[in-house]
Copies of this chain bind each other. A is one copy, B any other.
Amino acid sequence: MTLAYPMTDPRATRPDSALTRAFERHGVRMTYDRNEEIYAQDDEVEFLYQVVRGVVRTSRLTAEGRRQVGDFYYVGDLFGLEPGPDHRFGAEALDDCEILVVRRSVVRAFAGDAELDRAILEATRVEMERLQDHVVMLGRKSARERVACFLMSIAQRGEDDHANLAMGRQDMADYLGLTIETVSRMLTQLQGEAIVEFPSSRHFQIRKWTALEALAA
C-alpha cells in the first residue's frame, strides 16, 4: 500500500457536495496493488472509503477456511460502511486501485449536513438491499440462476453491451456460494445456448437479454 498524496482532484468523485467536500478536504488518496488488503476482517471500523480507480472486493474467511465474498465495489462506490465497531468482512483490491479514505470522525463532524447524511443513508440503503438480494440468491436460487443473475448485474453497470469481469472465477464462485468448476460449467452452458458470449474469459456480451432475465429469476 502506498500513501500517495492528499486528495485534491474533485473530478474523481461524483458531485455529492458535502461528501465530496469531506473527501476533498480531509480525505487521503491511497493506492493498493492487486490483491492487497485494504482492511482486514475484524479490524476496527475507522474509515470510510470510496473507489476512485479499480475494483474492490469484500470477503469473510470462516474458521474452517471457507471464504464468502460479500460484494464488489466499483468506481464511485462507497464501502467500509459497516455500522458495527469492527469489520465483519475484510476488503481487498481486485486489481490496482486508487481509494479515497476519510476518517469516520471527520465524516461525523460533517454530520447534520443534509446532503452528507443523505449520501451516507443512500450508501447504507444500497448496502442493505444488496445484502437482502444476496440472501435470497444464496438461499433460493440454483447455480444456473445465480450465474445468470451475476452476469446481469455486471452487465447493468456498464453502458455498452460489452462487459468485462474484474474478478476471476474463484471470486465469482465465492460470491455465489459455488465452486469454480460449477461456475465454469454454467458459463459454458449459457454460452452454448447463445445467451451470452465470452470472447475471452474476462469479457462477455449478453446476446439474449430476455432469456437471461427469465433465468435470473
Contact = CB atoms under 8 A, between A and B. Distances in A.
- Please tell me how many copies of the chain the complex holds: 2
Contacts of A176: 139
Nearest to A121: B83
Contacts of A62: 136, 140, 217
Interface string A151-185: 00000000000000000000000101100000000
A32 to B, nearest CB: 23
A158 B29 CA distance: 47
Given A70-B132, A134-B135, A177-B139, A83 B125 contact: yes
A120 to B, nearest CB: 10
Given A70-B132, A217-B63, A84 B139 contact: no
A194 interface: no
Interface residues of A, number: 33
A124 interface: yes
Nearest to A173: B139
Contact of A70 (B60, B63, B82, B135): B135
B217 A68 contact: no
Contacts of A63: 217
A16 interface: no
The list of the 3 closest CB pairs from A to B, nearest first, reads A139-B177, A83-B125, A138-B138
Interface of A: 60, 62-64, 66-68, 70, 82-84, 88-89, 121-122, 124-125, 127-129, 131-136, 138-140, 174, 176-177, 217
